[in-house]
């Protein structure tokens, strides 16, 4: 009887360890998949949205290039000396902010081939996807790192208390990635006191 109980306990322990091992490996596999791209493989999609505008390429031509002198043009781009990709080039601003910079539009499914072909041309300085950049939601308050209630990384409180517990906070930054609020939402804060000498209230 006792032997069966011990065997059962060992079996349960083994199952728990197996489940934990599988669970721990999933994020690593997912992370590796998203980190596998490099400059030769620019067409990637982030978990939270597109990394670039599909079908748009920023191309800078050398000053002596014919394409650098035109405001707009439609051309055929040769790929490996065989296939032809239709490409529409247009000036971003007039007058130009950057000499020779053009916005190239191609079919989204032909972006990889178009990038490769453009980068091989002698009259092209660089060609890259029209990347999307998103503003960070974290505040620029110089005292933000001390606000453990918003992001607790184990720092001491603003009043010199003991270090906090990492992760023990309101998860403000993940929330800001979803929304930064709305003027139509009214929030009431009830507090027991106020520091009338605080620099933010001067």
Residue 72 — left, alpha, or beta (φ > 0 → left; ψ -120 to 50 → alpha)?
beta
Q: Is 110 within 8 Å of 38 (Cβ atoms)?
A: no
Q: What is the pLDDT of residue 9?
A: 53
Within this chain, do residues 85 and 57 fall inside the same structural domain, yes or no?
yes
Identify whether 34 is part of a domain.
Answer: no
Q: What is the pLDDT of residue 58?
A: 95
Within this chain, do residues 116 and 148 fall inside the same structural domain, yes or no?
no
The whole-model pTM stands at: 0.47
Within this chain, do residues 68 and 107 fall inside the same structural domain, yes or no?
yes
Within this chain, do residues 108 and 51 fall inside the same structural domain, yes or no?
yes
Identify whether 65 is part of a domain.
Answer: yes
Within this chain, do residues 71 and 127 fall inside the same structural domain, yes or no?
yes
Q: What is the pLDDT of residue 158?
A: 59
Q: Is 77 within 8 Å of 68 (Cβ atoms)?
A: no
Q: What is the pLDDT of residue 111?
A: 92
Average pLDDT per run of 10 along the chain, which is 202 residues long?
48 46 36 33 50 93 84 80 84 83 93 92 94 81 86 77 84 86 83 82 80
Identify whether 30 is part of a domain.
Answer: no
Which runs of E-coded beta strand occur in 40-176?
Answer: 45-46, 49-50, 52-61, 72-79, 83-91, 101-105, 124-131
Within this chain, do residues 122 and 162 fall inside the same structural domain, yes or no?
no
φ, ψ of residue 200 to 5 degrees: the values are: -70, -15
Q: What is the pLDDT of residue 10?
A: 54
Identify whether 160 is part of a domain.
Answer: yes
Q: What is the pLDDT of residue 22?
A: 37
The rounded distance, in Å, linking the Cα atoms of 170 and 152 is 9
Identify whether 32 is part of a domain.
Answer: no
Give the chain's domain count: 2
- Output the 3-class SS for 23-48: HHHHHHHHHHHHCCCCCCCCCCEECC
Within this chain, do residues 91 and 110 fall inside the same structural domain, yes or no?
yes
Identify whether 12 is part of a domain.
Answer: no
The domain containing residue 143 runs over which residues? Answer: 137-179
CATH number of the domain bearing residue 87: 3.30.70
55 three-class SS: strand
Q: Is 100 within 8 Å of 66 (Cβ atoms)?
A: no
Within this chain, do residues 115 and 158 fall inside the same structural domain, yes or no?
no
Within this chain, do residues 113 and 149 fall inside the same structural domain, yes or no?
no
Within this chain, do residues 124 and 81 fall inside the same structural domain, yes or no?
yes
Q: What is the pLDDT of residue 47?
A: 42
Q: Is 54 within 8 Å of 111 (Cβ atoms)?
A: yes
Instruction: Give strand pairing partners of 127.
Output: 59
């Amino acid at each position: 009887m006792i032997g069966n109980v011990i065997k059962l306990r060992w079996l349960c322990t083994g199952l728990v360890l197996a489940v934990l091992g599988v669970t721990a490996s999933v994020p690593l596999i997912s992370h590796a998949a998203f980190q596998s791209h490099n400059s030769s493989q620019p067409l990637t999609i982030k978990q939270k949205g597109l990394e670039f505008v599909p079908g748009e390429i920023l191309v800078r031509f050398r000053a002596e290039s014919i394409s650098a002198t035109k405001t707009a043009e439609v051309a055929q781009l040769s790929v490996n000396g065989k296939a032809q990709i239709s490409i529409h080039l247009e000036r971003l601003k007039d007058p130009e902010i950057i000499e020779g910079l053009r916005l190239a539009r191609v079919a989204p499914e032909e972006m990889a081939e178009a990038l490769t072909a453009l980068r091989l041309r002698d009259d092209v300085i660089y060609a890259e996807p029209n990347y999307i950049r998103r503003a960070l939601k974290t505040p620029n308050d110089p005292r933000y790192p001390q606000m453990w209630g918003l992001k607790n990384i184990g720092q001491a409180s603003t009043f010199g208390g003991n270090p906090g517990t990492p992760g023990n906070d309101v998860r403000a930054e993940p929330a800001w990635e979803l929304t930064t609020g709305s003027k139509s939402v009214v929030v009431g804060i009830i507090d027991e006191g106020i520091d009338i000498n605080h620099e933010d209230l001067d």
